[in-house]
Amino acid sequence: MSTLVLTAHGSRDPRSAANARAVANRLARMRPGLDVRLAFLELNEPNFIDVLDQLPNSRDAVVSPLLLASAYHACHDLPKQIARAGAHGIRQADVLGEDERLVSVLRERLTELDVSPLDDGLGVMVVAVGSSNTAANARTAQVASTLAVGSRWAGATMAFATRHEASVAHAASRLRRRGARRIVIAPWFLAPGRITDVMWTYAQDNRIPMASPLGPHRLVAETVLDRYDQALADHVAA
């Protein structure tokens, strides 16, 4: 039996770990013959290296990052910890990225706020965590334009919660300059946590509606399985 090691970063906020567990449970239901094991890089249990140590055969396993962006944790932290664990032959799948299925979940979250794609007075602010990796930020920024396809919104723009030069406040100003009379926040986050709580406070203080994070949606799990399948296919092709 092949093993999918669903790997999340970990957080002091219990809602983040609960979301990862919900995704893992959904994966197991969607693919009954697959051995799904949840792991966290830090702050939560089970620890990633401990999970790798307990694998019956690392050559039959794929590490599937429960991460949206291909930045530090996916490109450096995960490979470093895999090497530290001595998990020879284990494969690492791609991150979830800017997959259109996830963008459709974001649209669904906006629909829950009664947002209409025909509202030409609306500005949509997609907010991601942000990275010191400018290339990763550029890829993430594509989410806003993809989300706006087919809409009549006054604008859709990207903001990064941890990047001052692309802050939520700056993004709101950009949208208003484009003619937005109303603004809504669409979090490009998998789960609620401390950063989304800060965003929520800003939204409340400025009377801006804010959608829910992506959560353990079926399409999130489907995207994880797609990355897992691709990692297996790439290994066979090699």
Read off the pLDDT of residues 32-80 as tens digits, 9 standing for 90 and up.
Answer: 999 999 999 999 999 999 999 999 888 889 999 999 998 777 888 898 9
- pLDDT tens for each residue of 210-237: 999 999 999 999 999 999 999 999 866 6
Query: Minimum mean pLDDT among 4-8, 51-55, 87-91: which range?
Result: 87-91
Q: What does the pLDDT read at residue 163?
A: 78
H or E element: which one contains 225?
Answer: helix 218-237
pLDDT tens for residues 132-174?
A: 888 999 999 999 999 999 999 999 999 999 877 668 999 999 9
Judged against a pLDDT cut of 90, whether residue 110 lies above it is answered with yes
pLDDT at 1: 67
- What's the predicted TM-score (pTM) here? 0.94
* Contact of 216 with 15, CB cutoff 8 Å: no
Q: H or E stretch including 61?
A: strand 61-65
Helix (H) or strand (E) holding 179: none
Instruction: Please indicate whether residue 164 or residue 25 has the higher confidence score (pLDDT).
Output: 25
Residue 228 has what pLDDT? 97
Q: Which two tokens stand for residue 156?
A: 């859709």
- Domains observed in the chain: 3-97+216-237 (3.40.50.1400), 100-206 (3.40.50.1400)
| Residue 48: per-residue pLDDT | 96
pLDDT of the residue at 165: 65
Q: pLDDT averaged over the chain?
A: 94
In this structure, what token pair is assigned to residue 138? 């550029």
Q: Please say if the pLDDT value at position 20 is more than 90.
A: yes
pLDDT value of position 238: 56
CB 39 within 8 A of CB 46: yes
Instruction: Report the pLDDT value the prediction gives residue 86, as an integer from 0 to 100.
Output: 81
Q: Mean pLDDT over residues 6-29, rounded?
A: 97
Q: What DSSP element (H or E) covers 209?
A: none
